[in-house]
Structure 1
Amino acid sequence: MAGATLQQETYLPEADTQVARIYDFLEAHERVGRGVPEPRYFLAGATPGDQVELPAEVYRAVRQVVEALRQGLAVTVVPQTQTLTTQQAADLLGVTRPTVIKLLDEGKIPFERSGTHRRILLRDLLAYRQQRRSEQYAALDATGVKLDDEEDLESALQQLREARRAVAARRRGVRE
């Protein structure tokens, strides 16, 4: 692979049992490895002793690719730089570039300036995305209402309205 160029590539699942065998191997090793401080995984060549240890991030990537292929999904690998432009950050977050600039100006995502351009570290953007998802799940959970079989619908709707008001007030920064 020396000299291999990095490019976006999509891998389609094949109808053979190789992916299933890899999945079974990885699954079995994860089950056995529980309780072991640091599981180690190796990529083996054709001859005995021809192997290299996989770093944890490579193992996680392989694990995710195998799981997706096992489920019949295509997988696209897109090499990314570790420093992103505001447009790349917007694309990754699924928002507009002005929204990213607003988040940067509000201090919600750290960034560096390179001349007049803003540059965002990929790890900072991913941390922000995870934090945002956690907040969204918490907001969804807060608006949930547990219904008893004996509770009437009007009471449940009232609880839901109150939960929504509380979430909206928290968003505005108002404490009740």
Structure 2
Amino acid sequence: MSADMVTHTYVPEGSEPEAAEVLSFLAAHAEKHGAEPVRRFLLVGSGEGEQIELPGTVYRALLQVVEALAAGKAVTVSPTEPQLTTQQAADLLGVSRPTVVRMVESGELAAERNGNRRRLLLGDVLAYRERRRARQYAMLEATAVDLDDEDDPAEMIERLREARSAAAAYRRG
């Protein structure tokens, strides 16, 4: 099962007695054990033994959703991708922050501007890193030269020069 990763609004249906019941359970549990769950909260399936423990973040999201629905409010779930500052992107890529700024300005990396700040999506930075690695591996493969003891050293030097020239031309263009 794969839920669409799009924004969706859930509108309460009538008085939502089920949501009030869940909210009452959660409130009683919080009163008894504190705000954070001490015991396990489980999502239970229809078959025997079908259950999974809810992580703390899912529990807190569920609590917020149930409180809103019980109060008759609509709830919007809007998945967002983590955003990075230019410094965080630079750290991830192993380059300087000014290099990331140049890559953004040249269009190599996509970024959004918020005032004078730039924000980059984590997925964009990771995709760029993979493209860069693929280019680096391709360049290494293209510049590889097999050496044998029987090869002429002058010929090997010429082949290495050609490989360096090809690498320089690739970087320029």
* TM-score range for the pair, normalised by the shorter chain length: 0.5 to 0.7
Q: Give the Å deviation of 1:135.
A: 0.7
Q: Give the Å deviation of 1:155.
A: 1.4
Code of the aligned partner of 1:84? L
What CA distance in whole angstroms lies between the structure 2 residues aligned with 1:100 and 1:3? 40
Q: Give the Å deviation of 1:145.
A: 0.5
Rate the CA distance shift 1:158–1:112 in 2: closer, same or farther, 3 A: same
Partner residue in 1 for 2:42:
none
Partner residue in 2 for 1:83:
83
Rate the CA distance shift 1:114–1:149 in 2: closer, same or farther, 3 A: same
Partner residue in 1 for 2:128:
128
Code of the aligned partner of 1:104? V
SS in 2 for 1:95: coil
Q: Give the Å deviation of 1:50.
A: 4.8
Q: Give the Å deviation of 1:129.
A: 0.4
Deviations 1:120-171 (A, max 9, x none): 0000000000001111111111111023443223212210111111110121
Q: What runs of 5+ residues in structure 1 fail to find an aligned partner?
A: 5-47, 54-80
User: Within 5 A, what are the aligned runs for 1:69-148?
Assistant: 82-148=82-148
What CA distance in whole angstroms lies between the structure 2 residues aligned with 1:172 and 1:94? 21
Deviations 1:23-77 (A, max 9, x none): xxxxxxxxxxxxxxxxxxxxxxxxx715449xxxxxxxxxxxxxxxxxxxxxxxx
Code of the aligned partner of 1:112? E
SS in 2 for 1:120: strand
The RMSD of aligned alpha carbons is 2.4
Partner residue in 2 for 1:62:
none
Moved more, 113-122 or 139-148: 139-148
User: How many equivalent pairs are there?
Assistant: 102
| Ranges of 4+ aligned residues in structure 1 off by more than 4 Å | none
Code of the aligned partner of 2:133? R
Q: What runs of 5+ residues in structure 2 fail to find an aligned partner?
A: 1-34, 38-47, 54-80
Matched, 1:168 2:156: no
Rate the CA distance shift 1:3–1:159 in 2: closer, same or farther, 3 A: farther
SS in 2 for 1:119: strand
Higher-Rg structure is: 2
